[in-house]
Amino acid sequence: MKSEDIFARYSRQIFIEEIGLEGQKKIRSSKVLVIGAGGLGSPVIQYLAAAGIGTLGVSDFDEVELHNLNRQIIHNENTVGVLKVKSAAAFVKNLNYHVDFIGIDRKIERSNADEILSQYDIIVDGSDNFTTRYLINDTCVKLGKPLVYGSILGFSGQTAVFNYKGSKNLRDLFPEPPFDEDLPDCDSLGVLGALPGIVGSMMAMQVLKMITGLPGSTDQLTLIDTLNWRFQTIDF
């Protein structure tokens, strides 16, 4: 892309004093992995691609289903039955074809976690089960990768930054995962579509702040209650 085109496209974030051209160059050279192209992953993918992330990896092994469409906004009726990584790839290409999109249609498991995560600068966890969340966290700790975490249910969500510049990780907050079968999830209790948009946008903002060297929210858990419209930050 020509320099004048870069400026025209990203001028509204380049105009921010704390970002500038140098910050945009950092964004362009960054490599981010988003795990999950669902409710949380959709707004993260959308805003990171729009910001001009250089390399955007997306890991998901599911297909788009009709019930996904109330919240997974990068997919549409025409991609129902299509692998989510392929649907996400088409979305990113249409939004910003300069982004190097890497689709990974495999489940993150112990056998491949090191190999996949090691190729990226920042990891974003939009997964929907505790087994994967703790595996991602532990792999990030092992590899020294910063991790942006989020979760949603009903009207509530939470987000945090883990393992960034020596900060604490998921196990410092919740040492052991609960049994998945003991907990409700979106399939059983549902989620209002705008909630993952809020939480996912907050996660994308944390990624962009880290890339550009802005202060990060470490050792803090942000709780979002959209039913009563309350936001609370807990230090841990």
Q: Give pLDDT, residue 159.
A: 98
Q: Give pLDDT, residue 216.
A: 83
CA 141 to chain CA centroid, nearest Å: 17
For residue 200, is pLDDT > 80?
yes
Sheet holding 156-162, edge to edge: 100-104, 55-59, 31-35, 122-125, 147-153, 156-162, 220-225, 230-235
Q: Give pLDDT, residue 182.
A: 58
* Average per-residue pLDDT for the chain: 94
Q: Give pLDDT, residue 184.
A: 57
With a pLDDT cut of 90, the percent of the chain lying above it is 89
Question: What would the pLDDT profile of 64-120 be if each residue is shown by its tens digit?
Answer: 999 999 999 999 999 999 999 999 999 999 999 999 999 999 999 999 999 999 999
* Mean of pLDDT values over 2-10: 80
Nearest to 60 by CA among 77, 31, 40: 40
The model's pTM:
0.94
